[in-house]
Copies of this chain bind each other. A is one copy, B any other.
């Protein structure tokens, strides 16, 4: 067979890691705190049943749902993004600033198509969302980690690394960060937008969790501080609607949206019309608010139970974050415990989590004691049982 492209070798390690993540999602016997899936109870199956029942009957809308569509996305879905999601976040935009994409990650992909040549630098968090690192590897970008403290990216380090590496893009998940659950402060958000403008760097604000907040006050987006169009928002309908429908949106300057659209035409023409129609009707018919309230209540309860159980059962000296929203709690185990090594033993007890070490990109011997716990997916009794069991395992190992 012919020689592979250079990017195949470049993404080899992260691709293998991602294969494992996606391959491990399907065992129903395991209590999984590992993946990023929402709770089955939070999926709006009944609502979609009702919408599909009406929409596929109607001639014009039914045909729209099954026919080719334009690449920008359904106008009424983009309108819902503008009025129901962006306006409350302080982002002034109109429908021409919004591109509907096939899952939130497609924005990273399209943005790389537009900006990244092999060898270009992207600054990332430490630890960083590994799936995006895999994308950046596919584009042969060099991902350089920046220092993070308890409130996210440290601006002094970001500025120093901008000067050192001349990055094209700075990638961040500012709200309820994946994997750590941390949230970047308002002051730093403002500064990051300014750094993008000052140094001519794209700030890629990946914010799929921002709309599911359970406590604390909503913070302005980085994009709301952007005066020059250097900030690009990537967001997703996966957490508030349905991950299976692969719907997301990008928000950017109009000239950049057109280039992202060009790349999208050459990627998949457009996003599923049926999924878009259902999601647009979900907003149009006013289902969003109640559903949003319902899932936030469900997840808040699960978060609180998991926090309570970690504090009760995990060994003394354990550190953990307190996420005001999103899906993840980040744990640092004490006493040299290695979360990667212990995972096999946990899985023998039918419990899984995500060991954190691989998420520290480009750094060695960091994070072997860390883990990401998804509190959203598992039922209450499974959270109680699972965290207790993990706590006992870790405590035993410390002796």
The 0/1 profile, CB within 8 Å of B marked 1, for residues 344-370 of chain A is 000000000000000000000000000
Given contacts A62-B49, A114-B4, A242 and B274 within 8 Å (CB-CB)? yes
Q: Are B7 and A113 closer than 8 Å at their CB atoms?
A: yes
CA distance in complex: A168, B5 (Å): 10
> Interface segment, A37-45, A208-216, A219-227?
A37-45
Q: Report which of B113, B259, B269 forms a contact with A22, defined as CB distance below 8 A.
A: B269
Question: Is A270's beta carbon under 8 Å from chain B?
Answer: yes
Question: Is A267's beta carbon under 8 Å from chain B?
Answer: yes
- A250-278 contacts to B, CB under 8 A, are 253, 256, 258-259, 261-263, 265-275, 278
- A44-100 contacts to B, CB under 8 A, are 44-46, 48-49, 52-53, 56-57, 59, 62-71
CA distance in complex: A40, B131 (Å): 38
Looking at chain A's contact residues, is the secondary structure mostly helix, strand, loop, or mixed?
A: helix
Q: Are B259 and A68 closer than 8 Å at their CB atoms?
A: no
Question: Is A18's beta carbon under 8 Å from chain B?
Answer: yes
Q: Are B269 and A105 closer than 8 Å at their CB atoms?
A: yes
Q: Are B66 and A244 closer than 8 Å at their CB atoms?
A: yes
Question: Is A392's beta carbon under 8 Å from chain B?
Answer: no
Residue pairs across A and B with Cβ atoms less than 8 A apart, 6 shown, are A3-B168, A5-B117, A45-B63, A105-B268, A131-B269, A274-B278
10 additional contacts (CB under 8 A) given A1-B202, A35-B68? A1-B256, A5-B114, A19-B261, A19-B262, A43-B62, A43-B66, A66-B242, A102-B102, A109-B268, A138-B266
